[in-house]
Structure 1
Amino acid sequence: MRFRLILVALAVLALVALFAWQWSFGWTPEPARFPVQGLTVSAIDGSVDWPTVRARGADFAYVTASQGTQRDAAFETNWNGAHVAGLRHGALHAFSLCEPTADQVTTYLTTVPREADALPATLSLDFSPDCTARPTRAQVMTAIRGFLGPAEYHDGRPMMLRISPAFEDAYRVSAAIVRPLWGTRRFFEPDYLARPWRMWQANPARRIDGVERPVAWSVAAQ
């Protein structure tokens, strides 16, 4: 009898976990508190039906332009698609600690068009499994500033910094470089940055009609 009760309890827990897992794919912060919400996309997300995405509540899109020295294969398609659908959009570069800053700058500058009505571009700072390099903080600050200088000159405005908790913990970027901040924390507002966040990536894997795979979903601060 006791063994049967344990099996029933485990089955209930499994069902609860499955429900929570499925629920998480649809979760977004309350629109009443955060009315401006949108997504980040790259080639790995597959094809995007931009009119459908907009109809399902996206107010903006950040389109991955480059990662390290590699152009995102879907950048031009996604950039133009978001524009045609009437979504405000900006470019994102994922910074690499394993590739020369000058080469990353070249990739970014030759990929992202200069458009006055685009959202401020974003420099994404996070660790990746394919890069084990861990330079000193001084070296990282120099590299980031070396990217921001020419990229911001090209764009004509400051970039936003999207900083992961692990990267911030290692290098304390938000205290050293004053730019608009984009925090990342699932379900709970980020509290690890040195200054208030401008954007919050609240769900790294939200399912939304119009995109083949779950996408990162973010909100703007009020």
Structure 2
Amino acid sequence: MGKKKKSVLRFWIEALLLIALIGVGVGLWWHSKNWAPPRAEYPVQGVVMGEAEGIVDISALRTARADFVYLEASSGAEGRDQNFGRNLAALTETDIPHGAVHTYDPCIPAEEQAANFVTIVPRDATLMPPAIYLNKKPSECGDPVLEAALESELTTFINQVEGHAGQPVVLKISEEFARQYQIATRIERNLWLERDWLQPDYAGRPWTLWTANSALTNAANSEPMRWVVVQN
């Protein structure tokens, strides 16, 4: 075979490989945007929303068949989602169960964070159990005393939030936080774990809620949703 024929053959082989790789990439991209765990296995599925998602679109939630909504309400001692009140009111007018999330800051005293949460989140027995998001590591505070006091401060915060809500909280724990501090094995509450497409197993015990796809496309408006499923 001449050099010219070999060159042409190599060109077409490389072109076909490139097309195949592009096809695989497109397939993976589509899968990542449209995949959710099967309803037969996880009948109850919903979303978590915050400032990134903006104002609740009730029609879009119904199109997505969201069975519940968690709203990010507060963070630290002063952080608040400016849309929380409006979104909470909109959901209250529907039959969609909903609850609130507080993003915990280990650098801030528990009492100040609890005051923030109870100020913005009403005492309402119809709300779903409040969730506490643990992601920021105490090591980022630059104070070893705060890191050592993590469990006691967090317990204080949990007690105050549970006293306000009248029900146990859910611990929403990132993988890095869970592995470094083993909070899931030291504080016995239902767990909410995160991992796209693959079941999370990093907490040392079973989860109740799982953020299974952090960017699921809603067919109603093409907006990404953080999709959450429940395990009974």
- Distance in 2 between residues matched to 1:3 and 1:138, nearest whole Å: 62
Structure with larger Rg: 2
Structure with greater proportional helix content: 2
Residue equivalent to 2:141? 133
Whether the 8 Å CA contact 1:46–1:212 is kept in 2: the answer is no
Paired residues for 1:137-148 under 5 Å: 138-148=148-158
Distance apart, 1:89 and its partner CA: 0.4
Residue equivalent to 1:50? 58
- Structure 2 letter corresponding to 1:149: N
Distance apart, 1:138 and its partner CA: 3.5
Whether the 8 Å CA contact 2:63–2:219 is kept in 1: the answer is no
Distance apart, 1:218 and its partner CA: 0.8
Q: Does 1:33 align with 2:41?
A: yes
TM-score (norm 2): 0.86
Seq. identity, %: 33
Q: Please list every run of 5 or more consecutive structure 1 residues that lacks an aligned counterpart in the other structure.
A: none
Paired residues for 1:1-222 under 5 Å: 1-68=9-76, 69-127=78-136, 132-133=140-141, 138-209=148-219, 213-222=223-232
- Distance in 2 between residues matched to 1:141 and 1:197, nearest whole Å: 20
Q: Please list every run of 5 or more consecutive structure 2 residues that lacks an aligned counterpart in the other structure.
A: 1-8
Distance apart, 1:98 and its partner CA: 3.4
- Indicate the structure whose relative CO is greater, using CA pairs within 8 Å and at least 6 residues apart: 1
Whether the 8 Å CA contact 1:51–1:85 is kept in 2: the answer is no
Compared with structure 1, are the counterparts of its residues 155 and 172 closer, same or farther at alpha carbon in structure 2 (3 Å cutoff)?
same
- Distance in 2 between residues matched to 1:210 and 1:5, nearest whole Å: 41
Distance apart, 1:152 and its partner CA: 0.8
Compared with structure 1, are the counterparts of its residues 97 and 4 closer, same or farther at alpha carbon in structure 2 (3 Å cutoff)?
farther
- Distance in 2 between residues matched to 1:211 and 1:93, nearest whole Å: 27
Whether the 8 Å CA contact 2:104–2:136 is kept in 1: the answer is no
TM-score (norm 1): 0.90
C-alpha RMSD of the superposition: 2.1
Whether the 8 Å CA contact 2:50–2:71 is kept in 1: the answer is yes
